[in-house]
């Protein structure tokens, strides 16, 4: 691209992750002139060091759990080739008419102006870009707690763990959220000794309690050790790493070759010059209007992890599409309150809508309906009899939530999410003809 001192666009997007690049493509298709800026790699965290490489490892871990020999080095090379292939696809997408893709670091000047210092060019004056509207889609990074020894060699986040060259004999994971559980599943399947240390009383706090507990128990049967209600006090190192933690007033130490810290994520707001422009930020990230995702400054929007509302790649994408529609004055039917999510362990866990604990806390009248994989012909044929479906309905039998543990849970939850978006009832779900034999028949036979 020929360098220009000034570029004018209808829309500037800062960040080329799933929210950024999908929004840019959609906006260009709607006739907007889009400039998108990325300081690292196209595809963002999800593609380069998050969802995609992790799922590639999940696939190989599943093969290993089935007894298929898996070479760790070849597995990591396959993961990287997938990332590079998809990254090339995103870069190609950003070359479509109507989009200008710039590699550089952006900072806000005002509600319509962005300064960009080009990557690998610290000498040249920043480019000045102007646009009618600006979308911030800079994502998030791993959040490290203030633990003594957290900066020692061998203490890593998920980003560094995805680039290791040797399989660790012993892995300690601090945090039993989605990232911690997926990596516990992966590395145990590959043969590592895995210990998970979690401060809360159960793993996966956003998931239905029954589902989370059942998944933990299944991983424990496979040899993953959990220490719940435990706080890490320090990490030290000699021949190996030593993680000291306290549980119910007693101190214990876990030895490790690698320690994964998976204790949440923090919004990437540094360097954007938000304070000077007047964009409000709180502890979660950039504060936005719940309907339009506009920030405290008119014509500046924030989508995805950087606003801290729903830290999911697909949430970023659909928030971005919604913002473009808002800018164009178009109404859409995107319901961001119905947000399915999944944990890609073996078996999968997935959910959409309210969990049982949330319904109870809200005082909402509900009925729970359950179904079991062990009663499903396809599940037995697949050797996947471990599984539970919990579906919740309100007083009118409309579906208000569904949480599943079992094979292809993510696919089944997606079907329920579709029904919920149409305010569907349990009877309407039952009346929908399902292919036999499939796992989704469980949804039609809930008690």
Positive or negative, the Cα torsion across 9, 10, 13, 14?
Answer: positive
User: 35-90 pLDDT, tens per residue?
Assistant: 999 999 999 999 999 999 999 999 999 999 999 999 999 999 999 999 999 999 99
pLDDT band, residue 350 (cuts 50/70/90): very high
User: 97-149 pLDDT, tens per residue?
Assistant: 999 999 999 999 999 999 999 987 766 789 999 999 999 999 999 999 999 99
Q: Please state whether the predicted TM-score (pTM) of the whole model is above 0.85.
A: yes
Q: Which fold has domain 6-141+266-328?
A: FAD/NAD(P)-binding domain (3.50.50)
User: 375-408 pLDDT, tens per residue?
Assistant: 999 999 999 999 999 999 999 999 999 999 999 9
pLDDT band, residue 1 (cuts 50/70/90): very low
Residues in contact with 416: Cβ distance below 8 Å, sequence separation at least 6, in sequence order: 340, 352, 353, 391, 399, 402, 429, 443
Each domain of the chain, given as residue ranges in start order, spans 6-141+266-328, 155-263, 347-444
CA distance 44 to 24: 14
Q: Is 436 a catalytic residue?
A: yes
Residue 262 has pLDDT above 60, yes or no: yes
CA distance 122 to 180: 38
Q: Which fold has domain 347-444?
A: Enolase-like; domain 1 (3.30.390)
Q: Which fold has domain 155-263?
A: FAD/NAD(P)-binding domain (3.50.50)
Given 242, 369, 408, 436, the catalytic residue: 436
Q: Is 347-444 in the same CATH topology as 6-141+266-328?
A: no
């Amino acid at each position: 691209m020929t360098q220009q001192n000034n570029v004018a666009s209808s829309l500037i997007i800062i960040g080329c992750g799933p929210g950024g690049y999908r929004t840019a493509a959609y906006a260009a298709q709607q006739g907007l002139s889009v400039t998108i800026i990325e300081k690292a790699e196209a595809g963002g965290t999800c593609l380069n060091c998050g969802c995609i490489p992790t799922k590639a490892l999940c696939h190989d871990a599943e093969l290993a759990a089935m007894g298929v020999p898996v070479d760790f080095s070849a597995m990591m090379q396959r993961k990287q080739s997938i990332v590079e292939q998809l990254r090339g696809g995103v870069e190609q997408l950003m070359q479509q008419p109507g989009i200008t893709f710039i590699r550089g670091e952006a900072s806000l000047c005002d509600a319509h102006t962005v300064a960009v210092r080009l990557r690998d060019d610290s000498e040249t004056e920043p480019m000045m870009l102007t646009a009618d509207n600006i979308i911030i889609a800079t994502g998030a990074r791993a959040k490290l707690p203030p633990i003594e020894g957290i900066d020692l060699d061998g203490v890593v986040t998920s980003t560094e763990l995805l680039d290791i060259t040797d399989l660790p004999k012993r892995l300690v994971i601090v945090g039993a959220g989605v990232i911690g559980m997926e990596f516990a599943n992966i590395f145990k399947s590959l043969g590592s000794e895995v210990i998970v240390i979690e401060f809360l009383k159960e793993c996966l706090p956003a998931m239905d309690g029954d589902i989370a507990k059942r998944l933990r128990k299944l991983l424990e049967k496979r040899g993953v050790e959990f220490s719940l209600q435990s706080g890490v006090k320090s990490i030290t190192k000699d021949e190996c790493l030593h993680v000291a933690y306290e549980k119910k007033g007693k101190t214990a130490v876990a030895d490790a070759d690698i320690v994964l810290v998976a204790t949440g994520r923090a919004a990437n707001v540094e360097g954007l010059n938000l304070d000077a422009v007047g964009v409000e930020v709180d502890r979660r990230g950039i504060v936005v209007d719940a309907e339009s995702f506009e920030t405290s400054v008119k014509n500046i929007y924030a989508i995805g992890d950087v606003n801290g509302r729903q830290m999911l790649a697909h949430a970023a994408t659909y928030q971005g599409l919604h913002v473009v529609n808002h800018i164009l004055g178009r109404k859409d039917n995107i319901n961001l309150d119905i947000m399915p999510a999944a944990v890609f362990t073996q078996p999968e866990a997935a959910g959409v809508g309210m969990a049982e604990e949330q319904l109870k806390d809200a005082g909402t009248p509900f009925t729970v309906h359950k179904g079991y994989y062990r009663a499903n012909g396809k599940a037995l044929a697949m050797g996947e009899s471990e599984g539970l479906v919990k579906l919740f309905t309100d007083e009118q039998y409309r579906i208000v939530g569904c949480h599943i543990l079992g094979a292809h849970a993510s696919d089944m939850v997606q079907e329920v999410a579709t029904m919920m978006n149409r305010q569907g009832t349990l009877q309407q779900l039952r009346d929908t003809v399902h292919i036999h034999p499939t796992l989704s028949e469980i949804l039609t036979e809930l008690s």
